[in-house]
Each structure stands twice: as C-alpha cells, then as structure tokens.
Amino acid sequence: MSGFAAVDVIRVKRDGGALSDAQIDWVIDAYTRGEVADEQMSALAMAILLRGMTPGEIARWTAAMVASGERLDLSGVSRPTADKHSTGGVGDKITLPLTPLVAACGAAVPQLSGRGLGHTGGTLDKLESIPGWRATLTNEEFLAQLGDVGAAICAAGAGLAPADRKLYALRDVTGTVEAIPLIASSIMSKKIAEGTGALVLDVKVGSGAFMKSVDDARELARTMVELGAASGVRTVALLTDMSTPLGLAVGHAVEVTEAVEVLAGGGPADVVELTLALAREMLAAAGLDADPAAALADGRAMDTWRAMIRAQGGDPDAPLPTAPETEVVRAATDGVVAAVDAYAVGVAAWRLGAGRARKEDPVSASAGVVLHRRPGDPVRAGEPLLELRTEDPGRIPAAREVIEGAVAVAAAAPSRTPLIIDRIS
C-alpha cells in the first residue's frame, strides 16, 4: 500500500482538505509499522485538531485503527453483550458497581478499561487496590470469564487497535488530546475491536471533564454514536454532569469501598442514580427486559462482583489499604455548600499520590480525597468539608493549596443541576 508520502497527506489536511480513504488507510498502517515518523503524525494530528474531519473521514480513520490489530470474537458468548465507556471524571467509580450489576441481569459485560492520567482516575488502578487482583487476562481467560461470571474488567490486550496505543501516547505530549475526531476514533476503535454488541457512552461535561461545554460534549457524543452505528454496534450516549465529583470518595481504595457500598444497597445517591441509569440503557441496548434496581436490592449484583473479583485473583473480603496520613479541611463560616469543584478535587487527589503525570508512574492505592459535604448540605464553621489522605505527609501542602477554594460555602442552597443532562441515540 505505497504511493503516498506522509508530507503530502499532512499538506492536504493542513490546507483544509478531506483525506481520501486510501490516504487514511495508508497513513494509519504506515504509522503503526513505524514507516511514518512520530513528528509526521504529530503534525497531522495538529492539522486535524485545527481543521477538523468530515464524518466520512472520522469513520474511515476509526475503521483503519480497528484494522491495525485483532478483533475479538464474542460470538461464542451465550449471553447478549453490552459495554459502557466513560470519557473520564473525578470520583467516577461507576464501572465497578455497573459491570457486575448488568451481568447479574443477564448480559455479558466485556469491560476493557484503562489507567488514569492527569486528574482523572483509571478503573484498573482502582481495582488493583484489592489484594491479589490482576488486570491482565489472556483472550481465552477473558472469554471463559464472560461465560462463567458474565463480567470481566481488564486491560485491553496489546493486539487490540495498536495504532490507537501509539497515537494516544503521542496526543498526550503534543497538545492534541482535545481534537474531537481523535477522541472519538480512539474510544470507538477500541470498543469496536472489543467485539461488544451494544455500547453505552457516559460523556462527561463540566470542570472535572475533558469537555467543559455541553455543545462540545454533544458533538463528541453524536460523533461516537454515529461511529458505533456505522460499525454495527448499537450505541447510545448520556451526557452527565462532572462539575461536582461523583459520590464522596476520590482515589483508588476509597472508591472501591464506595462501589461496594452501592452493591450492598447503600452508597451516595448520585452514584446509585447514574449506575442504574446506565444499567437500564445497557440492558435495553442488549435487548434484555430486567430491573437493575431489584438486582441491587436482592444481592445478585454483589454476588456477581465477588465472583468477578475472585476470578481475577482478588480477595473480595481482604481489607483495603488505608492512608497513614490524613488532614481535614474545615469550613470557615456557617452556611450551605454551594459548589465542590471537581477539577480541584481531582488535582488534589493526584498531588496526594493517587494520580500519575506519565503512563509509567506508580500510583498510591490509599491516597485520595474524601468529601464530608456535598452541594446543598448545611455546614457550620469548624465542621469538616473534606479529608486529604496520603502515604507521604510531604504531599499535603501542595494538595491543600489546590483544594483551599474548591468547596464554596454560601448563605443559601444552590439550584440543583441534573446529573443526566441529555441522551443521544
């Protein structure tokens, strides 16, 4: 598949033109093989960020990324398959209760997840706080677990969309992460290669999300829903609010604890609301008529969680790591909590050791932030607003600096923002 020069492909996009199918197929394949250099792909990614892509270009780009590697065949799984992808937020532990819940209702959930980068947490990092649990499964183990348990949360194998792995790392260091065509094709190439029959997207909007505006989030959601439909994956998206952290816990072990509370029939109202909303969408997309609230109430979801953790070497009864160092941030005045800035809380958790600056950095399982008050809650001067947790007391001042103004206390209760802003199908 020769006959192209990378510089010619770059020029077409630089000058606002549309890339041909053949140019897209060639550049993705050649980049995956190392024939197109990182600096050339960087230039093309920046041209895409500035000039955009047509729906046809995005569809072909996604298909070429899928074709760069293997495609999992889930046809041997007896249950209908459904998966969820979140664009990333603060305190977003929804995958943890959602996956076993949907499996308990009769679907198979092939949840290939990632690690956290920057201020947003990664599902695999959270689960690795459970003693013995492992993120890596072979394709055979993955398929067997989907058959036995109905749910698996694990790392994507190296064979799935290798073009995306190379391009993802490049976007992170070249200021091109925000390009909607590149975000959409990155997410959807992995999900299409994974082989799921139905996909529900949780597209986050607000200070703690990639997408700060509802318009941008809607454009991203529409683009991904169209990509899914074009590839035969029944896809629906919910736009959800990420101006406030989800739940009360932000970190790894603390979020696992909160997820288990939800599976036990408790947990924060917002986490329960979003888990149930996404579960209903996944079950409907998979063609199943089941009530997820009943599976939470009667313990079936918890049973599936325990089986899923055990299947991947984890001990669901083992105590989780706890941070030796804590510091409480208290209210300066009486009033009502008006806002909790998700981005500031995410950065504080990151500075406490819960996040990483580079992909290869280790994370602390016990570090994080625990909220004592949410928007709408009354508070008196001196009462706790939130708690910083870390292994290293030297990290507290930098976290404290970013969190100082994160919780706004006002005289009156704020107007309530709906958690689910829109639905796109």
Residues 6 or more apart whose Cβ sits within 8 Å of residue 40: 6, 7, 10
The verdict on 209 and 278 lying in the same domain is yes
Residues across the chain: 425
Predicted TM-score (pTM) of this structure: 0.94
How does pLDDT run across 254-263, given as a tens digit for each residue? 999 999 999 9
How does pLDDT run across 152-200, given as a tens digit for each residue? 999 988 889 999 989 988 887 888 888 999 999 999 999 999 999 999 9
Is the distance from CB of 43 to CB of 166 less than 8 angstroms? Answer: no
Is the distance from CB of 90 to CB of 242 less than 8 angstroms? Answer: yes
Neighbours of 392 (CB within 10 A): 13
Question: Of the residues 287, 311, 335, which one is the last residue of a structural domain?
Answer: 311
Domain-embedded: residue 205: yes
Domain limits at 337? 325-410
pLDDT for res 122: 85
The verdict on 304 and 370 lying in the same domain is no
- In this predicted structure, the answer to whether residue 119 has a pLDDT above a threshold of 80 is no
- In this predicted structure, the answer to whether residue 398 has a pLDDT above a threshold of 90 is yes
The verdict on 31 and 177 lying in the same domain is no
How does pLDDT run across 315-330, given as a tens digit for each residue? 999 999 999 999 999 9
- In this predicted structure, the answer to whether residue 269 has a pLDDT above a threshold of 80 is yes
The verdict on 174 and 275 lying in the same domain is yes
Residue with tokens 């459970």: 130
The verdict on 380 and 285 lying in the same domain is no
The verdict on 179 and 106 lying in the same domain is yes
CATH of the domain at 341: 3.90.1170.30
The verdict on 178 and 246 lying in the same domain is yes
- In this predicted structure, the answer to whether residue 1 has a pLDDT above a threshold of 70 is no
pLDDT for res 117: 66
Question: Of the residues 249, 282, 311, which one is the last residue of a structural domain?
Answer: 311
Domain-embedded: residue 370: yes
Residue ranges of the alpha helices (H) in 249-299?
253-263, 269-285, 292-297
Question: Of the residues 311, 339, 374, which one is the last residue of a structural domain?
Answer: 311
Average pLDDT over residues 333-347: 96
pLDDT for res 414: 85
The verdict on 27 and 171 lying in the same domain is no
Give backbone dihedrals phi and psi of 15, rounded to 5 degrees, phi first: -90, 10
Number of domains making up the chain? 3
Per-residue tokens: 14 = 């630089």
How does pLDDT run across 196-217, given as a tens digit for each residue? 999 999 999 999 998 899 999 9
pLDDT for res 118: 67
pLDDT for res 405: 87
pLDDT for res 359: 67
Neighbours of 377 (CB within 10 A): 15
- In this predicted structure, the answer to whether residue 229 has a pLDDT above a threshold of 70 is yes
Average model confidence (pLDDT) across the chain: 94
Residues involved in catalysis: 85, 164, 171, 186, 190
Residue with tokens 């975000």: 183
